[in-house]
Amino acid sequence: MRRLLLLALIHASPADDFATKAVPFLKAHCYECHSANDPKGGIEVHEILSTDAAYRHHEFLDRIAEAVKWEDMPPPEDVDVVPDDQERSDFLREIDRIRTTLEKGDFPRQAGRPTLRRLNRDEYSYTVRDLFGVKFLAGHDFPSDGAGGSGFNNTGDALFVPPVLMEKYLAASRKVIDALYASPASLNRTLLARPDDKKSPEQAAREVLTIQGSLAFRRRISDEELNGLIGLFNSRIQRGDDYEAALRSPLQALLIHPAFLFRVEKDQAGKDEWKLDDFELATRLSYFLWASMPDRELFQLADQGKLSDPAVLAAQTERMIADPKFEYFARHFGGQWLGFDDLREVANPDPKRFPEFTPSLRLAMYRESVDFLTHLIRRNRPVLELVHADYTFVNGELARHYGIPGIRGNESQKVELRDPQRGGVIGQASILTATSLPLRTSPVKRGSWILDNLLGTPPPPPPQDAGVLPADDRSSEGLSFRQQLEIHRDKPSCAGCHAKIDPLGFGLENFDAIGRWRDRDVNGKPVDSLAVMPGDITFSTPAELKKLLLSSDELFLKNLARRMLSYAIGRQLEYYDEPAVAELVRELRANDLKAQSLVLSIVRSHPFQYRSANR
Amino acid sequence: MANIQSNKWSIPRRSFLRGTGATLALPFLDAMRPLMAAGSNQGVPVRMGMLYMPNGVRADRWTPSGKGSDYKLSPILSPLQAHREELLVLTGLQNKASFTGDGHYVKTGGWLTGTTISKTTGSDISAGGISMDQIAARRIGQGTKLPSLELGTEPVATGIDRNVNYTRLYASHIAWKDANVPLPCEINPRVAFDRLFRKRSGTGEKRAADEQSVLDLVQEDARRLQSKLGRADKAKLDQYLDSIREVERRIEQEANSLGAGENLSPELLAKMDQLDKRISKAMGKSSREEELSSRPRFDHGEHCRIMMDLMALAFWSDSTRVSTFMFGNDVTGRNFSFLEGVNGGHHPISHHKGNKDQLDQYEKINRWHVEQYAYLLDRMKELKEGEGSLLDHCMIGFGSPIRDGNSHNPRNVPIVVAGSAQGQLKTGRHLVYEEGTPLCRLWLGMLERVGAKTSSLGDATSPLTGLG
């Protein structure tokens, strides 16, 4: 009811510029095709009726603006009335105003509210490892987690607790406790106090559980919680168990406790938003950079209330980046953002066509991407090296795959690249393979990957009757694969988008479906990698494509900032995060694009440090 | 090496006897005859399995010719010839709620719910309703080890499909415990096997009691924590609490059940042992531990068949009465080049754009799926139970929520049901319904026969007529 009233007020508000300046244009030129019934291309314009709605749909509006600006829409061949230049520019100015307002933060701000995050299965494994020192990945047989937000599986909203998972939590807790008790060293590290003349068993257990409970809950354990655990301990003592045995139950309880499995951030009554406390901050920080729990030093600083001090926070961030556990950031953030995680599960090059694609090569490809991203941030390199770099990481097998001489052995090592084609993520076999089909490259997939994963501007979905190309690139009817693709996208309903997608992929045609360099295609013809983009931009090699991407880096930087922020705070970004995103890009530029400055800026940002009552 | 015989199967007889008063779920094995009326079907439950095939079918090769019992199987369905008399092929059904949104996610997520999934990249994930298998699980699954068993072959699809703005997790789930809780598929056959058939080692009575106090404690703390949280966060803890209760139910059920080794028929033990060894052979690892922690990446056909064998044994041992199996996630690009005459991935091939060569490949992939389905029916027919076979006491659905994969056509979806549910379905027929008949009416018909009569689901308010 309140919401309806609010909507009514917004609609009635004479001050709503968007409603008066942009909506008439949408009504006149877009509604016919893009509204509720049969929304073409899945696009529903009719929902954006007010400035408030425009804020919420700002990314969508940007896409509309692009289409209107380049006169792709409304499609001149299909409509009776085409907007004149004045109409177009008025409309675009209004969308521009929305964007500028968002970036400036010139509207009621809020920090956002990530939904309660369960540890995902990787985080669970690493956390248990760090908590009790067990050597195995305790969550290895958990069901895999789906993704939300900007495509990451640490998004609270997309993490569920089905019964099968609870069964596995229970089974894993048994296994972890058994392993703990089987290792005298680990057990001694955990049972930090023992009963003696001055200390009763209960007092000793209290000491142990105060510490282990606080570590497990990533904050000081409450008296109520502690008493409950002591209750478990006492009932086993009463039954005749000895001190060590009696601690089994409370320790097991920690591993299935909601305060352990979920990253709880407290609400503060009566406030619209508030700063996270130091423990909550430590937790956000450690799961962002390590995908695991805070270590002793972070806990100590949090306990002393010092972590939120900007200088301390910056120093800790740097320390954490230097730590070996920072590799998990590269694995999980990088793997999901850039898609090289797909190499582990999804990519399936045909074993007959590509017998060279061995399990060890698969692993080496994955390793390259992880090592590259870890190195880039740890050495504080400019983030544009993601697009192009003159080094990479290979072992002997991958080096042979790339045609790099002189590298032997199984260990991944840094090598200089003299060939300007290969460097940067675009030339990494992991990504080239993950964006190919089993039997051939896919210029469309690679092009979409650049538009979506790198630049954050995903192409719209294909029309329902689009059809798809043959699965194999072995020539049929004497046409090269590229020729077939060009015929296919000759349809007007396809051409608009494919003119932007495909050339990007054509530029990478010198890389085959498992990322090897080739001069000739599978039919023995020279690879045709000439690409012509709208606006008469041409290029023909990966090196030239990279140059093109580097020449205008705003989209890439903004997308990188967005994705990393979303990963850090575990939620989908909302319109009210736009000022923070703009600030991240500004600061990155001000710091010569140094990778760590982005990480630091995120840690300092409003959405990272605050939480609000509403989302 | 993996061998079930070496592991602790039995639970102390005492803990079984203690469980008086609780429902006893009896494995319906010949060995149990003394406990049942000999040779009678009395007390044998009906079970329901739903098999999901991704990416639709070649439409012109799916529908049988002829109607009623005078029908001829289509090229795609031809592998089912031996089961012709045990089949119902249904034509003309659709899920109206799936006509919106996009080509795939809406169709898959809502296949068994009959609702429209919410369009989201993450927040407020919802199928719109509970799925029909879970309606059954709630009603008939409470006395068995597992209320339901979800099986698959591919991990949850990650990321966001930013083309259409859906989280890909919709493509990986057909079972929804309620609108907001998707149930993940177990894809590792070793994990599924152990979950179903292996006793937890070292769980004595004392340990069970200790664990119960641990579970009591965390529930109490969860409730206290919950009172301090906002709405969305509360809902997450609701799931946590529900799942703990479910685990408690399972523990209690296990303690009560006749799962003790001395009561398992030699025949069942032999089948389990066979499957156990087959899993090890297929996975090709050096230890059970490695099998448990590895990504299942081996022959796809063998993977599917093992998962279906698990379903069959789970039914036969009465470990569960409701199960789903996803041959793959929707939009799967799985390479089907292992089939003669097929070159490429499933999803790309499904977009055949009318090209004859690609249509042929698409048909081969479809028929391959039907062959696997026929394999399951063969196995279930071999397993004797009561007066007939396991299959006689089941309903095994097989289908896809889209018809033509090229156009994502959601009308007249491909769907078959095998098994008569103890004569409740009059099988051996091709039933042709008026175009536009709700698929959910079939679901209602199946729910009624499995013992979970429901008044409405999705766009249906009555079961299909003419089923039995």
Q: How far off is chain B from A312, nearest CA to CA, in Å? A: 30
Lowest mean pLDDT among A388-397, A422-431, B258-267: B258-267
Lowest mean pLDDT among A45-59, A133-147, A475-489, B301-315: A475-489
Lowest mean pLDDT among A212-221, A572-581, B88-97, B191-200: B191-200
Looking at chain A, how many residues does it have? 615
For residue B50, the 8-state DSSP code is E
Q: Is A7's pLDDT higher than 60?
A: no
Please tell me the distance from the alpha carbon of residue A44 to that of residue A56, in angstroms, as a whole number. 14
Please tell me the distance from the alpha carbon of residue A287 to that of residue A569, in angstroms, as a whole number. 10
Name the pLDDT band for B201 (thresholds 50, 70, 90): very low
Lowest mean pLDDT among A150-154, B86-90, B339-343, B359-363: A150-154
Please tell me the distance from the alpha carbon of residue B30 to that of residue A427, in angstroms, as a whole number. 62
Taking only residues 363 to 422 of chain A, the set having a beta carbon closer than 8 angstroms to any beta carbon of chain B reads none
Radius of gyration of chain A (CA): 28
Are A170 and B406 within 8 A, CB to CB? no
Residues A197/A164, Cβ–Cβ less than 8 Å = no
Of A232, A439, A466, the CB nearest to B217: A232
Q: How many domains does chain B have?
A: 1
Could you tell me where the DSSP H helices lie in A183-331? 184-190, 201-217, 223-238, 243-246, 248-255, 258-261, 278-289, 296-303, 310-322, 327-329
Of B182, B229, B352, the CB nearest to A267: B229
The residue of chain A nearest to residue B299, with distances taken between CA atoms, is A351
pLDDT for B106-116, tens place per residue?
Answer: 999 999 999 99
Burial of B412 (0-12, 13-18, 19+ CB in 10 A): buried
- Give the residue with greater pLDDT, B169 vs A376: A376
Q: How far off is chain B from A415, nearest CA to CA, in Å? A: 31
Lowest mean pLDDT among A444-458, A470-484, B127-141, B176-190: A470-484
Please tell me the distance from the alpha carbon of residue A347 to that of residue A325, in angstroms, as a whole number. 26
Q: In terms of Cα–Cα distance, which of A612, A609, A561 is closest to A313? A: A609
First to last CA, chain A: 19
Q: Which pTM was predicted?
A: 0.89
Q: How far off is chain A from B213, nearest CA to CA, in Å? A: 7
- B75 in A contact zone (CB under 8 Å): no
Token pair of B24, please?
């006893």
At B151, which helix (H) or strand (E)?
strand B149-152
Residues 6+ apart with CB under 8 A from A3: none
> What's the average model confidence in pLDDT over B393-414?
95
SS3 label, residue B452? coil
Taking only residues 209 to 268 of chain B, the set having a beta carbon closer than 8 angstroms to any beta carbon of chain A reads 210-211, 213-215, 217-218, 220-222, 224-225, 228-230, 232-233, 236-237, 239-240, 242-244, 246-247, 250
Are A348 and B159 within 8 A, CB to CB? no
Q: Would residue B1 count as lying in a domain? A: no
Name the pLDDT band for B40 (thresholds 50, 70, 90): low
Token pair of A366, please?
């994955």
> What's the average model confidence in pLDDT over A209-222?
97
Structure confidence at residue A37 (pLDDT): 60
Cβ atoms within 10 A of the Cβ of B151, count? 23
Structure confidence at residue B243 (pLDDT): 96
The residue of chain B nearest to residue A435, with distances taken between CA atoms, is B333
Mutation site, B145, B195, B203, B214, interface A, largest A CB count within 10 A: B214
Please tell me the distance from the alpha carbon of residue B191 to that of residue B302, in angstroms, as a whole number. 16
Provide, rounded to the nearest whole percent, the portion of chain A with pLDDT above 90.
Answer: 68
Q: How far off is chain A from B369, nearest CA to CA, in Å? A: 19
Are B122 and A171 within 8 A, CB to CB? no
Q: Would residue B169 count as lying in a domain? A: yes
Q: Domain of B441: which CATH number?
A: 3.40.720
Chain A positions touching B295 (Cβ under 8 A) are 344-345
Q: How far off is chain A from B39, nearest CA to CA, in Å? A: 35
* Count of CB pairs separated by less than 8 Å, A with B: 256
pLDDT for A561-578, tens place per residue?
Answer: 999 999 999 999 999 999
Lowest mean pLDDT among A498-502, B394-398, B441-445: A498-502
> What's the average model confidence in pLDDT over A484-505?
77
Please tell me the distance from the alpha carbon of residue A537 to that of residue B92, in angstroms, as a whole number. 51
The pairing of beta strand A413-416 with beta strand A391-394: antiparallel
Structure confidence at residue A76 (pLDDT): 78
Lowest mean pLDDT among A33-42, B91-100, B349-358: A33-42
Q: How far off is chain A from B138, nearest CA to CA, in Å? A: 13
At A179, which helix (H) or strand (E)?
helix A163-182
Are A461 and B163 within 8 A, CB to CB? yes
- A144 in B contact zone (CB under 8 Å): yes
Taking only residues 477 to 506 of chain A, the set having a beta carbon closer than 8 angstroms to any beta carbon of chain B reads none
The residue of chain A nearest to residue B362, with distances taken between CA atoms, is A471
- Give the residue with greater pLDDT, A34 vs A429: A429
pLDDT for A23-45, tens place per residue?
Answer: 889 888 888 777 766 566 556 77
SS3 label, residue B385? strand
Determine the residue type at A394.
V
Q: Would residue B369 count as lying in a domain? A: yes
Chain B positions touching A153 (Cβ under 8 A) are 158
At B418, which helix (H) or strand (E)?
strand B415-418
Q: Would residue B396 count as lying in a domain? A: yes
Structure confidence at residue B262 (pLDDT): 39
Q: Is A111's pLDDT higher than 60?
A: yes
Are A350 and B183 within 8 A, CB to CB? no
At B273, which helix (H) or strand (E)?
helix B266-283
Q: Whose structure tokens read 């056959």?
A: B189
First to last CA, chain B: 48
Residues B47/B315, Cβ–Cβ less than 8 Å = yes
Chain B positions touching A148 (Cβ under 8 A) are 120-123, 125, 160, 167, 169
The residue of chain B nearest to residue A247, with distances taken between CA atoms, is B210
The number of C-alpha atoms within 13 Å of A549 and in the hemisphere containing its C-beta is: 26
Residues A49/A22, Cβ–Cβ less than 8 Å = no
> What's the average model confidence in pLDDT over A192-196?
95
Provide, rounded to the nearest whole percent, the portion of chain B with pLDDT above 70.
Answer: 88
Structure confidence at residue A470 (pLDDT): 57
Q: Is A511's pLDDT higher than 80?
A: yes
For A82-150, where are the E strands, in sequence order?
A: 117-118
CA distances from A314 to A112, A334, A604, B316 (A): 23, 22, 8, 61
Q: How far off is chain B from A341, nearest CA to CA, in Å? A: 9
Q: Is B41's pLDDT higher than 80?
A: no
Q: Is A473's pLDDT higher than 80?
A: no
Token pair of A62, please?
């940007």
Taking only residues 31 to 70 of chain A, the set having a beta carbon closer than 8 angstroms to any beta carbon of chain B reads 42
Q: Would residue B237 count as lying in a domain? A: no
- B171 in A contact zone (CB under 8 Å): no
Structure confidence at residue B37 (pLDDT): 34
Average pLDDT, chain B: 87
Average pLDDT, chain A: 90
The residue of chain B nearest to residue A251, with distances taken between CA atoms, is B214
Provide, rounded to the nearest whole percent, the portion of chain B with pLDDT above 90.
Answer: 70
For residue A42, the 8-state DSSP code is G
pLDDT for B250-291, tens place per residue?
Answer: 888 777 764 444 367 888 889 999 999 999 999 999 998 899
Q: Would residue B300 count as lying in a domain? A: yes
Q: Is A182's pLDDT higher than 90?
A: yes
Q: Whose structure tokens read 């061995």?
A: A358
Of B123, B185, B188, the CB nearest to A148: B123
- Give the residue with greater pLDDT, B87 vs A473: B87
Look at the alpha carbons of A583, A584, A589, A591 in this order and tell me if their dihedral is positive or negative.
Answer: positive
Structure confidence at residue A120 (pLDDT): 97
The domain in which residue B329 lies consists of 44-187+296-450
Determine the residue type at B379.
R
Name the β-bridge partners of A415. A392
Q: Would residue B303 count as lying in a domain? A: yes
For residue A241, the 8-state DSSP code is -
- A433 in B contact zone (CB under 8 Å): no
Structure confidence at residue A12 (pLDDT): 46
Structure confidence at residue B42 (pLDDT): 67
Are B408 and A464 within 8 A, CB to CB? yes
- ipTM, two decimals, is 0.90
Q: Would residue B95 count as lying in a domain? A: yes
Residues B51/B373, Cβ–Cβ less than 8 Å = yes
Cβ atoms within 10 A of the Cβ of A311, count? 8
Structure confidence at residue A477 (pLDDT): 54
> What's the average model confidence in pLDDT over B149-156?
95
CA distances from B354 to A129, A467, B357 (A): 54, 8, 9
Structure confidence at residue A471 (pLDDT): 61
